[in-house]
Amino acid sequence: MTRKGFLGVTGISAAVLAARKLRSVFAASGPAASPPVRWAMVIDTQKCLKKAGCIDCIAACHKVHNVPEIKDRAHEIKWVWKEPFKQAFPAQETAYTEEAYKGKPFPVLCNHCDNPPCVRVCPTKATWKREDGLVMMDWHRCIGCRYCMAACPYGSRSFNWVDPRPHLRRIDIEFPTRTKGVVEKCTFCAERLARGQAPACVQACKEQKALVFGNLADPDSDVSRLVRSRFTLRRKPGLGTNPEVYYIIG
């Protein structure tokens, strides 16, 4: 064996041993320490409809995330907003349910789909899905091609057609503002979840308790119990996107 060959073999062996050691270290503290997490939301629309004209969830979300108020409908940015039943659940209305819910607003937001088309089409991985199910946005990587907006079947994404900062009444310094030319949307309050807090919209609705948030991978969580015990709808379920926002209708 040559000197070079010997050094090579020793080096590779050392690397393999180190890798094994590392793996055993991670295996010991790995899966056992962090049980699976799948964040999801259940919206009890009966409770939501009880407080007519309420926009607490929208106001709270848009305030903490520096979402601008742009008057021109063409350029508006919205993370959470309300749509009539027919628009939120197309093809699921009948002449009679429409009558019962006519003009009544239903909250809609990013569904944080299990199989998100927006993530599939993004050419720069500026939008991606985390292991806990959150569909995230990198506002520094987004090139503003708006392919994700064409791909999202729920109209959940907004584009900054103009500089959003002049349209902010006040800036929350805890959260970044955006620049013109990038796409944004609801993030299920990833920054609040990281601090162990509930999303801002859920927090704002704590009186009505119409919005319930939690870990669907945990069978004992509130969301798990609700989706098991109540009949729920999801938006456009036939598209195979698997939305993780569930609506209790009746």
Partner 1 sequence: MFMFEQAVVGSRRYWAWVLCLLAVIGLGFLLYLQQLSYGLGITGMSRDVTWGLYIAQFTFLVGVAASAVMVVLPYYLHDYKAFGRITILGEFLAISAVTMCMLFVFVDMGQPARALNIMLYPTPNSIMFWDFVSLGGYLLLNAVIALVTLSAEHKSVPPPAWIKPVILLSIPWAISIHTVTAFLYSGLPGRSFWLTAILAPRFLASAFAAGPALLILLCMIMRRMKAFDPGPEAVRKLAVIVTYAMILNVFFLLMELFTAFYSQIPEHTEHFRYMFVGLEGHRALVGWEWASVLLAAASLLLLIVPRLRRNEKVLAAACVVTFLSLWIDKGVCLVVCGFIPSPVGAVTEYAPTLPELGITLAIWAIGCLMVTVFYKIALSVREGLAASAVH
* H or E element at residue 85: helix 85-88
Binding to partner 1 in span 179-208, by CB under 8 A: 179-183
Contacts to partner 1 from residues 1-30, by CB under 8 A = none
Stretch that binds partner 1, among 54-62, 197-205, 207-215, 232-240 (CB under 8 A): 232-240
Question: Among residues 124 and 197, whose Cβ is nearest to partner 1?
Answer: 124
**Segment interacting with partner 1, rule: CB under 8 A, options 24-32, 69-77, 165-173, 185-193:** 69-77
Please report whether residue 58 would count as binding partner 1 according to CB under 8 A: no
Q: Which CB atom, from 81 or from 214, has the smaller least distance to partner 1? A: 81
Q: How many helices (H) and strands (E) does the chain have?
A: 10, 10
Q: What are phi and psi of 192, to 5 degrees?
A: -80, -40
Element (H, E) at 106: strand 105-108
Q: How many CB atoms lie within 10 A of CB 243?
A: 24
Q: Which of 158, 162, 169, 172 is nearest to 118 (CA)?
A: 158
Min dist. Cβ of residue 44 to partner 1 (A)? 21
Residue 32, φ and ψ in degrees, nearest 5: -60, -40
| Site residues (CB under 8 A) for partner 1, limited to 110-169 | 117, 120-126, 141-147, 149-155, 158-163
Q: Please, what is the minimum distance in Å from the beta carbon of residue 209 to partner 1?
A: 26
**Minimum distance between the CB of residue 160 and partner 1, rounded to whole angstroms?**
7
Both tokens assigned to 77: 């940015």
Report which of 177, 187, 182 is spatially closest to residue 213, judged by C-alpha positions: 187
CB of 141 vs partner 1, minimal distance in Å: 6
Cα separation, 222 vs 41, whole angstroms? 10
**By CB under 8 A, residue 239 contacts partner 1:** yes
Q: What number of chain residues touch partner 1 (CB under 8 A)?
A: 48
DSSP assignment letter at 74: G
Give the other-Cβ count within 10 Å of 71's Cβ: 7
d(CA 23, CA 44): 44
Closest CB 156 distance from partner 1, rounded Å: 9
**Using CB under 8 A, which of 60, 88, 134, 202 touches partner 1?**
88
**Contacts with partner 1, residue ranges (CB under 8 A):** 73-76, 83, 86-88, 90-91, 108, 117, 120-126, 141-147, 149-155, 158-163, 179-183, 236, 239-241
